[in-house]
Chain A
């Protein structure tokens, strides 16, 4: 069966520091991968998605970037964090057939101070 991992689970970072969040999927090949952000008490906002290695689509302009160095690895980065980057970051995957149900990881809770 497929599983999706995210780490770290929680992170507290100062403003201006770099960021690297990692997401890995097991048990499937060539998944579509997604990064979402959820502000406190709000819905989910799609940040990036990837349909393959090195292929990244950005949905929202910001100081974040994403990379997909391996088939089942998706990384969210920032060179300098802002206060507004605080939130709950969720990674998700789907298959690539017409049946593309999304499955989510446990999330990373980021607090920027």
Chain B
């Protein structure tokens, strides 16, 4: 099946710093999402981005489908950005299945 990798696995930042999270996948995809899991476990949708670039406030994301990767940018980080960031993909060859990456755990220190 499709393989999804995320890097870095852990990231510690001072408040106000910028960061880039990466998601690599092993096959063509027609669905890619970024989620933030908050300390209570809720998965919050950040971006639906199978290709191209999107921005929402301090967050932006870029997916280069032909090169099989996606990037999530967090600027001017805040303590509320702490949590785990997941990338999830769905592929043309995989029906309705979605595969999640292992996540990046972000800690933003005050």
Residues of A within 8 A of B (CB): 32, 34, 36, 38, 42-46, 49, 51, 57, 59, 88, 90, 94, 98-104, 106-107, 109
Query: Assuming A46-B98, A104-B35, A106-B42, what are 20 further A-B pairs, CB within 8 angstroms?
Result: A38-B41, A42-B102, A44-B86, A44-B88, A44-B100, A45-B100, A46-B99, A59-B97, A90-B43, A98-B30, A100-B90, A101-B31, A101-B45, A101-B48, A102-B45, A102-B98, A103-B45, A104-B43, A107-B41, A109-B41
Shortest Cβ distance from A79 into chain B, in angstroms?
A: 26
The closest CB in chain A to the CB of B99 belongs to A46
Contacts of B63 in A (CB 8 A): none
Contact assessment for B45 and A88 in the assembled complex, using a CB-CB cutoff below 8 Å: no
Interface string of B72-110 (1 = CB under 8 A from A): 000000000000001010100000111111110000000
A59–B2 CA distance with the chains assembled, in angstroms: 13
Q: Does chain A have a CB within 8 A of B70? A: no
A34–B96 CA distance with the chains assembled, in angstroms: 10
A49–B96 CA distance with the chains assembled, in angstroms: 8
Q: Does chain A have a CB within 8 A of B33? A: yes
Residues of B within 8 A of A (CB): 30-31, 33, 35, 41-43, 45, 48, 86, 88, 90, 96-103
Shortest Cβ distance from B32 into chain A, in angstroms?
A: 10
Contact assessment for B33 and A94 in the assembled complex, using a CB-CB cutoff below 8 Å: no
Contacts of A34 in B (CB 8 A): 98
6 contacts between A and B (CB under 8 A): A43-B103, A44-B86, A46-B97, A90-B43, A94-B96, A107-B42
Contacts of B42 in A (CB 8 A): 104, 106-107
